[in-house]
Copies of this chain bind each other. A is one copy, B any other.
Amino acid sequence: MDDAVDTMLGQWACTRPDVDVSPLGVIGRVSRASRLLERGVKEFLGEHGLEAWEFDMLTTLLRSGDDATMCMKDLSAAAMISPGALTNRMDRLVERGLVDRRPAPGNRRMTLVTLTDEGRRLANDLLERHTAHEDRLLSGLSATDRDALAGLLRKLLLSMGDTAPL
């Protein structure tokens, strides 16, 4: 059985048999898998009244430590978005009452963001159901497959310098 990328590679083999398009077999699939998985996650969270980026911000804060506090710079790096986009997101999370924003004591350049009680409860409540749903999204792969896939992707990510920003 061919997936969408196999079809694409077959088209290239007809159109430009002189070019080695094999890297597309990896990069095209990473890209498509990412978009399809993202769609699945979005669908699940939407049923619970959250945008994917909202859950992402909440869980990033939740797992950051007991005080669930980070500065804007670290948050924008963790979410891989621009500083301007992060300001926009935090404005809306503050408005929804899910996070608090306050100046950092001792360094007035920085702004600290913390989960409110409600934000923390929401993130904690949803976390387990969220991962259970992700597990279903991966149901086409055995445990062995998942380990192998994660290992190969780790190798690729490390070669591109994707170490933790912390």
Q: Chain A interface (Cβ within 8 Å of chain B)?
A: 1-8, 11-12, 14-16, 19-27, 29-38, 40-41, 62-65, 80, 124, 127-128, 131, 134-135, 137-141, 145-146, 148-150, 152-160, 162-166
Given known A-B contacts A31-B34, A131-B24, A140-B156, A12 and B63 have beta carbons under 8 A apart: yes
Of listed A31, A146, A156, residue having the most chain B CB within 10 A: A156
A149 to B28, CA, bound (A): 12
Pair A63/B15 contact, Cβ less than 8 Å: yes
Contact A26 B165 (CB under 8 A): no
Task: Give the distance in Å from the alpha carbon of A139 to the alpha carbon of B148 in the complex.
Answer: 19
Minimal beta-carbon separation of A114 from chain B (angstroms): 15
